[in-house]
Amino acid sequence: MAACSPQVLRKASLIDLAKELRVMHACEKGAIGVYRGHKCVARYFFRAKLEELDCMRFHEREHSEIFARLLREYGFRQCYLAFLWIYGGLFYGVFVGAFGLKAIGRSTATIEDIVDREFDNSLKQIQQWPAVCDIVRAIQIEEREHKASGELFAGDTIEAKSIIVNIARAGAYAAKHLAETL
Ligand SMILES: [Fe+2]
Ligand SMILES: [Fe+2]
């Protein structure tokens, strides 16, 4: 079997990079919407957690801006209809928030755990781009902090666990698959 030329390998690697950056960017937009939605509910029902939720939303906005910048720098496009993730996330964030702070916590822990594992998968796909990998790893540290905050909010919520976890998983993977398509 003939070996691929360096140019062919670089092109394949660039296609992977474009796809991974696009998906991460869209999902960060979704996360902005999710925390904004949670914050809308928290403003009325659990103000004590407002600042923490807002801090996470602020992180997600920074993450989204970082991926938008990387997409620009490499000359890649964003997902089509990128606003869909923000509004989808917002709807999801308010919906889950209506079930209370523990549901927000369980959802956050579930989604951020998926984000952590998906970042690990992305890092394998883009390992030929070490500078980008360093940026992704720095973002991943904040995502792990979000997961820890979610677990603290959730406490020991066995009864709500399966429903919210399933909804959160479905939402997270729907956002990812849609980003891979668009
Ligand atoms: Fe993020
Ligand atoms: Fe996060």
61 CA distance to ligand 2 middle (Å)? 10
5 CA distance to ligand 1 middle (Å)? 36
Q: Is residue 144 part of a domain?
A: yes
4 CA distance to ligand 1 middle (Å)? 35
CATH number, domain at 103?
1.20.1260
Q: Is residue 90 part of a domain?
A: yes
Cα–Cα–Cα angle for 22, 114, 47, nearest 5°?
100
pLDDT in tens, 21-44: 999 999 999 999 999 999 999 888
CA–CA separation, 30 vs 108, rounded Å? 13
36 CA distance to ligand 2 middle (Å)? 12
Split at pLDDT 50, 70, 90, the class of 141 is very high
Q: Is residue 6 part of a domain?
A: no
- What total of structural domains would you count in the chain? 1
Q: Residue length, the chain?
A: 182
1 CA distance to ligand 1 middle (Å)? 42
Interval 34-56 mean pLDDT: 86
Q: Is residue 1 part of a domain?
A: no
Q: Is residue 130 part of a domain?
A: yes
Q: Is residue 131 part of a domain?
A: yes
181 CA distance to ligand 2 middle (Å)? 22
Interval 97-104 mean pLDDT: 90
Q: Is residue 56 part of a domain?
A: yes
* Domain interval for residue 48: 16-181
What is the average pLDDT score of the chain?
88
Q: Is residue 3 part of a domain?
A: no
Query: Which ligand is closest to the CA of 139, given by its number?
Result: 1
Cβ atoms of 175 and 27 within 8 Å: the answer is: yes
